[in-house]
Amino acid sequence: MAMKKRKSSILERKKEVLESLEKFGSDIYGQMDSGQFPSISMPSRSTENINYDADLRQFILGDRTVKRSARNIRHVKPFTQLTWAAMFSNELASQRKTSTLRDVYYSAQAYEMTFTDQQESNNIITDLETVLGYSREDFNIFPEERSAVFGNLVIEYTVPGYEGRTMDLTSHPDGVMIGPALTSSEFVKTTADKVIAIEKGGLFTRFVEENVHKKYNALLVLTAGQAPRATRQFIRRLNQELKLPVYIFTDGDPWGMHIAMVIISGSANAAHLRELTTPDAKWSGVWATDIVNYKLPTDPLDEMDMKRLYELQKDPRYQEDKLMQREIKTFMKNKRKAEQEAFSRYGLTYIVDEYLPAKLEETKRK
């Protein structure tokens, strides 16, 4: 399947980001030039202003806004930091260079804009995300990378020095890191008809070895625990641009369940952002009911696990999801959990040969 028509989506988005940064600068410039103290408004990120939107199936910010004004003695410093962060992002994005939150913290010092601590500089970047509605990855500010992708997908780089070069994501058996270069690539073609996201590296490697990508015609994504935002955005693109259904495999415990939920519905911390969620993605296992049905070796749920279950039960993201609700109850009833590796009691390939097809079939119908 070729996707030539979408070729420019990444570059377009880059352009939009740059435009929004420039507009931000122009607004401030204009206000100052006309003798006004510059100010900006943005949605409040306080807990009271974070609401769950059942239609979007993610958290969003409410109507409450906060105003930052350079007239206010307490705001003028963060306002300056925000303007600096926008300028810094603009330089990164226009020069196609990437950096990290840590870089941001140190770079500020070159402008005598020293942040008190990392938290302060992180907050400013989040403010910038909130004001502009783009995530920091759009500004080329990336977290440490640890997730990867493997499978039959050809991508075309847009990063400087690699423009136009393509790569087949089966070319390296450890998978390809989902970093700035990959997330800014265009999708050229794929033969896959589904995406399988996997929590743990060991299982990801097993799936590659067992040719899951061929047997089940799937792209394999390693989330490496809680999926980073770049990875969540990447999964969304696979789902939206390539129309591939997404199946998520995690450990059979409340934490694994929630890894799936964050891919599906996002997090409260990212309530100010869109396009990080994949609402149609499915949690395929390991379910609490699987633990019973497959007679898996288990560990007892500890106090922390139980507490987490009660929290998730009340979490708005779980309210409409009958499957999740059922699984939470089952966990609570059995008070047992199992890791993905528990299937190894039936042999190393059991999970690929028996469990995986059964679950893909089962969740496809849902």
Please report, as ranges, the residues that interact with other proteins according to CB under 8 A: 21-22, 24-26, 28-30, 32-33, 35-38, 70, 73, 76-77, 79-80, 83-84, 86-87, 90, 111, 113
Pick the closer one to other proteins by CB: 60 or 87. 87
Q: What are phi and psi of 149, to 5 degrees?
A: -135, 145
Question: H-helix or E-strand containing 68?
Answer: strand 65-69
Pick the closer one to other proteins by CB: 62 or 78. 78
Pick the closer one to other proteins by CB: 24 or 283. 24
Residues 189, 154: Cα–Cα separation, whole Å: 5
Q: Exactly one of 29, 52, 105, 106 is catalytic; name it.
A: 106
Q: Residue 50 Cβ, how far from other proteins at the closest point, in Å?
A: 29
Q: Residue 138 Cβ, how far from other proteins at the closest point, in Å?
A: 16
Q: Is 106 a catalytic residue?
A: yes
Pick the closer one to other proteins by CB: 42 or 246. 42
Burial string for 314-327 (b: 16+ CB within 10 Å, else e) reads ebebbeebeebeeb
Q: Residue 270 Cβ, how far from other proteins at the closest point, in Å?
A: 24
- β-strands 176-177, 50-53: how paired? unpaired
**224 has which bridge partners?**
none
How many other C-beta atoms are found inside a 10 Å radius of the C-beta of residue 118?
Answer: 13
From first CA to last CA, the distance across the chain in angstroms is: 26
Q: Residue 163 Cβ, how far from other proteins at the closest point, in Å?
A: 24
Q: Which DSSP string do the residues of 274-294 spell out, in sequence order?
A: -S---TT-EEEE--HHHHHHT
Q: Residue 134 Cβ, how far from other proteins at the closest point, in Å?
A: 15
Pick the closer one to other proteins by CB: 22 or 156. 22
Q: In this structure, is the dihedral angle defined by the CA atoms of residues 230, 9, 281 and 172, taken in order, positive or negative?
A: negative
Burial string for 276-294 (b: 16+ CB within 10 Å, else e) reads bbbeebbbbbbbbbbbeeb
- DSSP 8-state symbol, 351: I
The residues annotated as belonging to the active site are 106
